[in-house]
Amino acid sequence: MFKMQIISSCTILSMLVFNILCTGNGKEDWIIAFNPPVITAVPGLCALISCNFTYPEAAKPIENVQWLVCKNVQCNKNEKMFKGKVSTQNKIELEEKETETERIKMLEPDLTKNNCSIIMKDIKAEDENEYAFRVVGQGKHKSTYNPTVKIIIQDKPKMGIPSLSEGVEANLTCSAPFPCPETPPEITWWIKTRGENIINLKDDITLITRSLYISTLPLTPTSKMHNATVGCDVSYGNKTISASRTLEVTCEYKYTYLTKFLEKACFFDNC
């Protein structure tokens, strides 16, 4: 019994020592964090990839850093979006041979800041990929970081329209990506009813996060709004994306049966 305890404490002790050795060995030091890990980008605009990273002491001095394009979890070392040589002052300098590099800018050229954030300019549909950051240090100390960051392309805002009943206030939402700090989005709502001109509407609340912009429009539908078109336009500087939907307004009180008939009644202002 006593012997067993000695053995098990030894096991625990050796596991601890082993762990410390492993950490010292640096295997765990290749760490990257993306915030956010998925970026929704708009064609023609820029996209900010925000990240930080660590690397083991033994890898120093770092020779170069790269951004690789990954498809189906495979990151291709030959498909580099960016390659920067690291100078003796730990500053990242572009390697001129790479063709894509003028589209990408590392925001923090000082490698000791552990900041791998980049801005990608002029996003195109083909940029919908995963990307990996790669650091090449001394000898065998190199790593293509896992996890990767994903860029998703969205070319229209997303509208959220709840079911609408005449006279009952409802909140309509329009959400647009906010991928590029240089051009914050501005949302405009409009409605076009049958035979009437376009009316611009005022939104109520705008919720802005680093990657998303959501505008809420409180709307009290009238029967006139049945079959009207509601839309939101989102401008980023001189680039605008839009979405629109047809409104269906039903009657609140006579709703329970013969719905179709009553919708028509609504349309003829009979509610």
Ligand X SMILES: *[C@@H]1O[C@H](CO)[C@@H](O)[C@H](O)[C@H]1NC(C)=O
CB of 219 to ligand X, least distance (A): 9
Nearer to ligand X, 7 or 33 (CB): 33
CA 214 to chain centre: 14
Euclidean distance between CA atoms 95 and 97, whole angstroms: 6
Which tokens sit at 18? 């082993």
What's the length of the chain? 271
Nearer to ligand X, 94 or 170 (CB): 170
CB of 162 to ligand X, least distance (A): 8
Nearer to ligand X, 108 or 128 (CB): 108
Question: Which of 8, 54, 259, 270 is close enough to bind ligand X by CB under 6 A?
Answer: 54
CB of 76 to ligand X, least distance (A): 26
Binding to ligand X (CB under 6 A): which residues in 146-185?
Answer: 169-171
CB of 226 to ligand X, least distance (A): 7
Q: Tell me how many degrees the CA angle 130-135-141 measures, rounded to the nearest 5.
A: 130
CA 212 to chain centre: 8
Nearer to ligand X, 69 or 164 (CB): 164
Reduced to 3 states, what is the DSSP secondary structure of residue 47? strand
Nearer to ligand X, 64 or 171 (CB): 171
Euclidean distance between CA atoms 115 and 107, whole angstroms: 8
CB of 139 to ligand X, least distance (A): 23
CB of 11 to ligand X, least distance (A): 32
Name the residue with tokens 């950490």.
Answer: 23
Name the residue with tokens 């349309």.
Answer: 267
Pair 116, 133: CB distance under 8 Å: yes
- Which range, of 8-16, 49-57, 58-66, 133-141, touches ligand X by CB under 6 A? 49-57
Pair 48, 117: CB distance under 8 Å: yes
Euclidean distance between CA atoms 202 and 105, whole angstroms: 37
Nearer to ligand X, 108 or 186 (CB): 108
- The binding track of 78-107 with respect to ligand X, each residue x by CB under 6 A or -, is -----------------------------x
Amino acid (1-letter code) at residue 180: C
Contacts with ligand X by CB under 6 A: the residue count is 20
Q: Taking CB under 6 A as the rule, does residue 190 contact ligand X? A: no
Which tokens sit at 151? 């860029």
Question: Which of 40, 50, 148, 250 is close enough to bind ligand X by CB under 6 A?
Answer: 50
Distance, first Cα to last Cα, the chain: 86
Pair 169, 220: CB distance under 8 Å: yes
CB of 107 to ligand X, least distance (A): 4
Nearer to ligand X, 74 or 240 (CB): 240
Q: Taking CB under 6 A as the rule, does residue 238 contact ligand X? A: yes
Name the residue with tokens 């329209």.
Answer: 161
User: Which residues bind to ligand X, rule: CB under 6 A?
Assistant: 33, 35, 50, 52, 54, 107-108, 114-115, 117, 169-171, 205, 216, 218, 227, 237-238, 267
